[in-house]
Amino acid sequence: MPRFILPLLCGCLLLVSFALQSCGVPPGQKLLRFEVEQNGELLLATSFDASDRVEKEQLWKEASEVPVSVEMASARVNSLEGNPLMAEIPGRVQLRILHVDRLETEAVLIGIRLQRLAADSNAWSLAPEEVARVQQAVSNPPGKLRVFILAGQSNMVGSGIVAADVNRNDGKGTLEYLARSEETRERFSGLIDENGDWRSRDDVLISYFERSGPITVGYGAGAGTIGPELGFGWTIGELFEDPVLLIKVAWGGKAIGKEFRPPSAGGEVGESYTAMFAEIRRVLDDLDHIFPELIYDEVELMGIAWHQGWNDRVNQAFNDVYEENLSCFIRDARKELGVAKLPFVIAETGMSGHEENHPRAVSLMKAQAAVAQRDEFRGNVAFVGTKDFWRDKSLSPSGQAYHWNNNAETFYLIGEGMAVALESLLAARQLK
């Protein structure tokens, strides 16, 4: 027997079985199937009759009145302490009502509660109070998950210091100092809540290798630092009603001439280039485990923010071909992610500000700006000048110029600047 015959016969038998059941349904009624799924696994399923004319919202009430067995979902069901008649399935769950093979209505919730018919029974139903939650979810379906990629080397990793230390220049240039200083309070005090703690945004999530969660401080090189992600996330989050995810992929000491070297530049593909896209795919493939309470309909890649250049700046050979290498990187990144003309923003390697005059530094910054001016990239690649964000060591926690003197304001402004530039690219794309 040919391989395809057996699955075909099984499918036909299922349809015949459902049709035979439907034959017993009174006129004006239809046989429906209620399903609860989690992480691709069917947990609960039952059938029930409903009127042909019933509204979709009402279907959920009727589905809740039909008992189901939780045997197949027993490992996922947690009894509520002190109440043997109630239990819950935690985490992100999908609920569906189907008629034959056609979807009637569906909803996504974070956790659902079940109600047992009797203490010694294994028959459960959707708890009455859950019906309103499901109906609300149907009326307000989840939006897209808007994904932005933040990539580069150590200054995308970020070393802006958060806590003010009086032994380090009286705390100047730290995020805490900025949030409390009269000169900068208006811009940064909103990052602190009424209890004096750092705020987080539940609508903007971040994945940075082993760290993940709502955007807040501590996603720089360590828990006490920030990179551009904070200013970027706080700014881009105001643009969308949909949830936003930042996937940050950055390592210190990497050159686009070597570690980030893209395939179309020729030669050996850089290990950081390969690792970057492997990490992006890992996160996108595992969203429901990394962010179990995230509700979304579909994923849309929105853009890439790039802050890198020091290791090409200190190598004359890499410096000479930086414009071409970065152009190759942009083209290849779009192919890797399957999005033609994916918006791409380049943050200038502008350490030392307007006073920087080293020939290789000047050459690299000109190359970064030139990429955005290429005909193929007009309207889909933007350059963000960062020299204005430089803060002297007298206003900073350190004098480490190549890491922006560890100034938190600088890192925040770089992120904010990239977000504003991406917003402009996205707006221009919508007008076309």
Residue at which a domain ends, from 116, 139, 162: 139
Residues 70 and 189 in one domain: no
Residues 105 and 227 in one domain: no
Domain of 253, CATH number, reads: 3.40.50.1110
Tokens 């890198």: give the residue.
308
- Whole-number pLDDT of residue 71: 66
Structural domain count of the chain: 2
Mean pLDDT of 6-29: 49
Q: Is residue 22 part of a domain?
A: no
Q: Is residue 5 part of a domain?
A: no
Is residue 326 within 8 A of residue 266, CB to CB? The reply is no
Residues 194 and 322 in one domain: yes
- Whole-number pLDDT of residue 299: 95
- Whole-number pLDDT of residue 1: 45
Q: For residue range 365-418, what is the model confidence (pLDDT) as tens digits?
A: 999 999 999 999 999 999 999 999 999 999 999 999 999 999 999 999 999 999
Phi first, then psi: give them for residue 38, nearest 5 degrees.
Answer: -145, 125
Q: 236-249 as b/e, with b when 16 or more CB fall inside 10 Å?
A: bbebbeebbbbbbb
Rounded to 5°, angle at Cα 202 from 199 and 206? 90
Mean pLDDT of 9-36: 60
Residues 394 and 408 in one domain: yes
Residues 260 and 334 in one domain: yes
Q: Is residue 90 part of a domain?
A: yes
Mean pLDDT of 125-133: 87
Residues 288 and 308 in one domain: yes
Rounded to 5°, angle at Cα 303 from 296 and 242? 25
Mean pLDDT of 99-122: 84
Taking 70 as the threshold, does the pLDDT of residue 279 lie above it? Answer: yes
- Whole-number pLDDT of residue 28: 75
Calpha distance 413→227 (Å, rounded):
10
- Whole-number pLDDT of residue 15: 43
Calpha distance 341→301 (Å, rounded):
11
Domain that holds residue 340: 145-431
Residues 218 and 103 in one domain: no
Calpha distance 243→144 (Å, rounded):
7
Q: Which residue has the higher pLDDT, 13 or 191?
A: 191
Mean pLDDT of 84-90: 85
Residue at which a domain ends, from 113, 139, 165: 139
Residues 6+ apart with CB under 8 A from 63: 32, 34, 46, 48, 97, 126
> What are the CA-CA distances from residue 33 to residues 15, 30, 49 (Å)?
13, 10, 9
Res. 10 pLDDT band, cuts 50 70 90: very low
User: Tokens standing for 283?
Assistant: 């996160």
- Whole-number pLDDT of residue 75: 64
Taking 60 as the threshold, does the pLDDT of residue 266 lie above it? Answer: yes
User: What value does the mean pLDDT of the chain take?
Assistant: 89
Q: Is residue 7 part of a domain?
A: no
Phi first, then psi: give them for residue 320, nearest 5 degrees.
Answer: -65, -30
Residues 371 and 418 in one domain: yes
Least confident of 17-26, 111-120, 231-240: 17-26
Mean pLDDT of 122-132: 85
- Whole-number pLDDT of residue 73: 62
